[in-house]
Structure 1
Amino acid sequence: MKIANRMEKLAPSLTLSITALANELKAQGKDILSFSAGEPDFDTPQVVKDAAIKAINGGKTKYTAVEGIKETKQAIINKLKKDHNLDYTLDKIVISNGAKHSLFNLTQALINEGDEVIIPSPYWVTYPELVVFAGGKPVFIEADETTEFKITASQLKAAITPKTKILMLNSPSNPTGAIYTKDELIAIGEVLKGTDIIVLSDEMYEKLSYKGKKFTASAEVSSDMYNRTVTINGLSKSVAMTGWRFGYVACPNKELASAMSKLQGQVTSNVNTMTQYAAIVALEGEADRDIEMMRVEFEKRKDYAVKAINNIDKLSCYDPDGAFYLFINIKKVTNDSMKFCADLLESKGVALVPGLAFGMEGYVRLSFATSMKAIEDGINRIKEFIEK
């Protein structure tokens, strides 16, 4: 059997591969501490679970419209208006099976062969894979600690060519936790004025910000940015609903929304019905107390982990503004992040993700979406590994 040539374009997810390996070693009875998965250790809020149970008991178990039920789409519209003063209509919202599915639909609906897509680096592992699979060409702009891992307007201007179709922004960022400020987004918007470049703004971690930093949505900084921005979001990270698979797109162009819905209709059809009803209470604020509880706890863990890592000789890390990751600089130890992670896992039973997966060597990613006890033990093991 010969597998389709298009599959050769796709690389397996290193994040998922390392998580699977860590789980396999744990199942074999080995003492493994995994900091590789981007998944909150908290349970889904009870109010959300109750809404799903109510939907099931109420017979809400049938197919829905491909792009989602009206009530859930309206809850998304209300949320975007309340949080960012953005206005959308029902025909401009598409609900998908997680934000990753939303991004797949978007890249397939937007990218033609040879289109260039600008991706700030370090980046979430899936972005370039989706671009290549759709026939596009990723164009990377590298950022580092000097700009808090954010690209500048001048870097963006230099990267734009006649073939540029899309700019991918992720704020707060996976893997760095960087958040673009309102002024930085305005400056990016000024560079894009007069072009047809679309902004894909992945805002999955918007509710997880620290140090009093305010999150600003890309679409809210100007009317021009609103008209070119497609917002991707969901409930996996902030509401601890990873397994529920709920993501959505809000876009100013109903033709694009229709194209995504058409593709989804031939692939998965609707998101499972119970999840859609459960999502309403989260979108409407009934889980806000739970979200804030998790955010506060994440910030405590972050503060401890940043200080502890920076106290280890030869290691350093930027203090993230959001999300739940540390992007740790290991360049004084090695530039080979794959070997670093493999040796650490083998000798100390600690699973991290190599920076290579995010397009940047000399770094590793640690997720602090786990217990404080695990973080303390894990960083102690990392310290022992470095000292050895």
Structure 2
Amino acid sequence: MKSLLSFFARAKKMAAQGKKVLGFTLTSPEFEPPAQLKKYAASAYKYSFPYLPAGGDFQLRQRIADFYSRSWGKKFNQDNVFVGAGGKEVIFVLLSTLLEQGKQGQEVIIVSPYWATYPKVVDILGGKKVFIRTSDKNNFALDVDKIEKAITKKTKTVIINTPGNPSGQIIPEDKIRKLAFLAKKKDVIILFDEVYEAYDYEGLFVSALKHFNKNVFCVFSASKSFSLCGWRVGWGIGDKELVKKMINIQSEITTSPNAISQLALKELFSKPKQIQEYLVSINKKAKMRRNLAVRLFKKNKVDFVYIQGGIAIFVKIPDSFKNAFSFAEKLLEEQKVSVAPGEFFGWKNYFRMNLASSPKNIREGIKRIANYYK
């Protein structure tokens, strides 16, 4: 199967040829980043030439720890925090730490639908993927009992995503609590990918950090929270000994993430009130786009999964198509609309559409998509 980025590149190539393509393939927020970051980045320039420590700038790590300590009522310090080149590197380094090199049969449990990167990373690291399939009949609700039954002595980690990409579902707190308890009970690391923490439209999101123990590891991202995809900074919070092992691995890969990005974010995290105000503002903008998409898809009698959080909507393909790849390719060629085929997420009869775009583009995109449902 092609990668999601290769599908995105095809749409970009068409746009470069002068074709007016509406791009909804990648979940890249098109909101303005926090305004003060321009000033912080300019101030950081002259201090950004040397290497920063592996694992991230010490002050940045402490300020991240302080921010999440206040948010979720637990006490973290810099030793709990790992900073990577985006949430993707945090996940890669964590899995590199947990999967022993050259050892066969090490299992990683992945809930489907899933972010396309999870199985790819497991394959790269030689792990064995164990998929837990949910059902679109109940909006892909998570069954904790299924996860518990799937855990074996070979299980190295379980990957949980909330708010979900691509499903847009938020796992309720009672299940988050059960998962955290399960991680401790089974002595297995559960990776909670929470990069869409800022996008909660129903007031349902509770981070697993609220129920933190040494087997809980949470991942966050400046790409999604601050609309800084190109800055490549993400962070994870977990057990100190686990973070120490991750730092040892990162030091031999990237050394540390982009210095200017880290130093600018260090200043931003010194002002938690500014962060909260920004997060409220982008959640409001994103919710408006969610409501717009829901209204238009309903109007055109298109089936979709109601989105509780995140910035993408999972939409059922027309009955006349056998799979999402064939639909997405036809949509791109005929209507100049680029979406992500559901095969990348484990569901061939759905496609994912990014909603962190302009309302104008969303309206026009859904108008073109709806042509296939008439």
TM-score bin, normalised by smaller chain: over 0.9
CA shift for structure 1 position 155: 1.5
| Equivalent residue in structure 2 for 1:154, among 119, 134, 145 | 145
Contact 2:48–2:259, Cα closer than 8 Å, also in 1:
yes
Q: Specify whether residues 272 and 127 from structure 1 end up closer, same or farther in structure 2 by C-alpha distance, changes over 3 A only.
A: same
Give CA-to-partner distance per residue, 1:83-139, whole Å, 9 cap, x none: 112222322222110010111111111113321111100000000111121121111
Q: Secondary structure at the match of 1:132?
A: helix
| Equivalent residue in structure 1 for 2:119, among 128, 137, 154 | 128
Deviates more, 1:288-297 or 1:159-168: 288-297
Instruction: Please tell me the residue identity of whatever aligns with 2:91.
Output: L
CA shift for structure 1 position 195: 1.1
Instruction: Please tell me the residue identity of whatever aligns with 1:184.
Output: K
| Equivalent residue in structure 2 for 1:301, among 247, 264, 289 | 289
CA shift for structure 1 position 219: 3.2
Matching of residue 215 in structure 1 with residue 205 in structure 2: yes
Contact 1:98–1:248, Cα closer than 8 Å, also in 2:
yes
| Equivalent residue in structure 2 for 1:232, among 185, 199, 219 | 219
Contact 1:251–1:257, Cα closer than 8 Å, also in 2:
yes
Q: Specify whether residues 288 and 186 from structure 1 end up closer, same or farther in structure 2 by C-alpha distance, changes over 3 A only.
A: closer
Q: Which residue of 2 aligns with 1:340?
A: 327
CA shift for structure 1 position 339: 0.1
Q: Determine the C-alpha separation between the residues in 1 that align with 2:74 and 2:127.
A: 30
* TM-score when normalising by structure 1: 0.91
Q: Determine the C-alpha separation between the residues in 1 that align with 2:359 and 2:36.
A: 25
| Equivalent residue in structure 2 for 1:269, among 236, 249, 255 | 255
Q: Which residue of 2 aligns with 1:184?
A: 175
| Equivalent residue in structure 1 for 2:191, among 200, 216, 235 | 200
Contact 1:118–1:139, Cα closer than 8 Å, also in 2:
yes
Q: Secondary structure at the match of 1:43?
A: coil
Give CA-to-partner distance per residue, 1:14-46, whole Å, 9 cap, x none: 2x1222111110111112111112111123222
CA shift for structure 1 position 147: 3.5
Contact 2:86–2:234, Cα closer than 8 Å, also in 1:
yes
Q: Determine the C-alpha separation between the residues in 2 that align with 1:233 and 1:326.
A: 20
Deviates more, 1:340-349 or 1:181-190: 181-190
1:105-120, aligned counterparts within 5 Å?
105-112=93-100, 113=103, 114-120=105-111
| Equivalent residue in structure 2 for 1:99, among 80, 87, 93 | 87
1:10-159, aligned counterparts within 5 Å?
13-14=3-4, 16-57=5-46, 59-112=47-100, 113=103, 114-159=105-150
Deviates more, 1:138-147 or 1:27-36: 138-147
Contact 1:166–1:200, Cα closer than 8 Å, also in 2:
yes
Q: Determine the C-alpha separation between the residues in 1 that align with 2:174 and 2:241.
A: 30
Q: Determine the C-alpha separation between the residues in 1 that align with 2:289 and 2:279.
A: 15
CA shift for structure 1 position 67: 1.3
Q: Determine the C-alpha separation between the residues in 2 that align with 1:194 and 1:376.
A: 48
CA shift for structure 1 position 186: 2.2
Contact 2:318–2:372, Cα closer than 8 Å, also in 1:
no
Instruction: Please tell me the residue identity of whatever aligns with 1:154.
Output: D
Contact 2:61–2:81, Cα closer than 8 Å, also in 1:
yes
Gap regions ≥5 residues in structure 1: 1-10
Q: Specify whether residues 227 and 147 from structure 1 end up closer, same or farther in structure 2 by C-alpha distance, changes over 3 A only.
A: farther
Q: Which residue of 2 aligns with 1:361?
A: 348
Q: Secondary structure at the match of 2:36?
A: helix
CA shift for structure 1 position 75: 0.8
CA shift for structure 1 position 192: 4.2
CA shift for structure 1 position 154: 2.0
Instruction: Please tell me the residue identity of whatever aligns with 2:30.
Output: D
CA shift for structure 1 position 175: 0.7
CA shift for structure 1 position 168: 0.4
Q: Determine the C-alpha separation between the residues in 2 that align with 1:105 and 1:168.
A: 14
Contact 2:184–2:214, Cα closer than 8 Å, also in 1:
no
Q: Determine the C-alpha separation between the residues in 2 that align with 1:281 and 1:333.
A: 53
Contact 1:337–1:355, Cα closer than 8 Å, also in 2:
yes
Contact 2:85–2:257, Cα closer than 8 Å, also in 1:
yes
Instruction: Please tell me the residue identity of whatever aligns with 2:207.
Output: A
* TM-score when normalising by structure 2: 0.94
Q: Specify whether residues 90 and 327 from structure 1 end up closer, same or farther in structure 2 by C-alpha distance, changes over 3 A only.
A: same
Instruction: Please tell me the residue identity of whatever aligns with 2:296.
Output: A
CA shift for structure 1 position 191: 4.1
Instruction: Please tell me the residue identity of whatever aligns with 1:47.
Output: Q
Instruction: Please tell me the residue identity of whatever aligns with 1:163.
Output: K
Contact 1:47–1:287, Cα closer than 8 Å, also in 2:
no
CA RMSD of aligned residues (A): 1.7
